[in-house]
Structure 1
């Protein structure tokens, strides 16, 4: 099954500093048909105005990944963590038993990012946060974060979830085959560019759910930046 959710049909929230699109039900946007894919519960497409951001607020028992597409985001939390994550890199926050954090765009230009929430595979873990820079060279999709047993030795940020996040930029005409194991689903978004997924077309910032397929075959119809989450059903 391949299902494409066009960007034009995503949920929407806009105020004087935030322009957000919601792939799944979130906040004031609720669609009973859009409640997530497997353990993936939130995929927000946010644009944050310069000098603004999310003031301190709490979370618990959730794995939260921020993939920065343009600009940078500065994180602060009640554990004393503080750091800046630039475009192309990610940060991972383990909400666990509880964390209070803020996310600010301290840049002179808008920051654009994907905010991805995944259900943890166990409750009550110690809260934490980390960020990491990844090389942008190389073909295909790179593993950036994972909680799968098979990835424990990989150079990726850890997750307390049976899930993995991949990203990469494909050149026009480049193809990638990603093996999707039994009992797993994938959700991917072209941050830029157009792609074909198992012979189904998807445009910039569309969401593509893949289930019941042994492989995800990606073809870049033009240069495309891809973000993909592999998660247990």
Structure 2
């Protein structure tokens, strides 16, 4: 099954400094048919104005992945961590038994990012944060693992049975990926693509389950972000 969730149909909140699109129910946006996808609970497509951001606020028992599309985000938390994550790179935070953090765009330009929340498999765990660079040229024409629940795979680690992958699809090319039909995949492309022959537009959500393999084709260069979750 492949379900397209058009960008225009997503929840929308414009706070001035933050222009957010919600793939799933979040804050004041509620749709009982879009409460999540498997263990993926939140996928927000955020545009954050220069010199603004999210002030300190708490979380617990959630795996939070930030994929920066353009610009950069600067993180600070109650554990003493601080770091800047730039375009194409990823940061993860396991909120565990509780953490307070802030996310600011300290740049002179707008920052765009995906904020993805995945239900934790380890409630009340010790909170943690990490970030890594992932040069886009290293994933040209193939998916690269960015984060997962496997601490030994060389990517960022989260406390969930999930994988976050990124790829750049060249115009006229294709990428194939084996899939477990019992799992829930969610894909967001930056440009129009075809997934197993099904058309999707830029920044649409593509919810996939029951498929043993995925073939992604596109006529224009596209950046792909995919989550594979239980």
Shift of 1:205: 0.5
Is the 1:66–1:115 contact (alpha carbons within 8 Å) kept by the matching residues of 2? yes
1:41 is the counterpart of 2:41: yes
Alignment size in residue pairs: 228
CA distance in 2, matches of 1:135, 1:16: 31
CA distance in 2, matches of 1:83, 1:180: 34
Consecutive unaligned residues in structure 1, runs of 5 or more: none
Other-structure match for 2:142: 140
CA distance in 2, matches of 1:15, 1:91: 24
CA distance in 2, matches of 1:194, 1:53: 29
Other-structure match for 1:213: 211
Post-superposition CA distance 1:125-147 (Å, at most 9, x none): 11011110013224311000001
Other-structure match for 1:124: 124
CA distance in 1, matches of 2:191, 2:181: 29
Superposition TM-score, scaled by structure 2 size? 0.97
Shift of 1:182: 4.0
Other-structure match for 1:53: 53
Other-structure match for 1:181: 180
Consecutive unaligned residues in structure 2, runs of 5 or more: none
Post-superposition CA distance 1:103-142 (Å, at most 9, x none): 0000000000000000011211110111100132243110
Superposition TM-score, scaled by structure 1 size? 0.96
Which 4+ residue blocks in structure 1 deviate beyond 4 angstroms? none
Shift of 1:221: 2.2
CA distance in 1, matches of 2:24, 2:58: 20
Cα RMSD, aligned residues only: 0.9
Shift of 1:173: 1.5
CA distance in 1, matches of 2:59, 2:43: 16
- Match of 2:115, SS state, is strand
1:155 is the counterpart of 2:157: no
CA distance in 2, matches of 1:51, 1:73: 10
Post-superposition CA distance 1:28-69 (Å, at most 9, x none): 000000011100000000000111100000000000000000
Is the 1:210–1:216 contact (alpha carbons within 8 Å) kept by the matching residues of 2? no
- Match of 1:137, SS state, is helix
CA distance in 1, matches of 2:224, 2:204: 11
CA distance in 2, matches of 1:63, 1:134: 19
Other-structure match for 2:225: 227
Is the 2:180–2:210 contact (alpha carbons within 8 Å) kept by the matching residues of 1? no
Shift of 1:153: 2.8
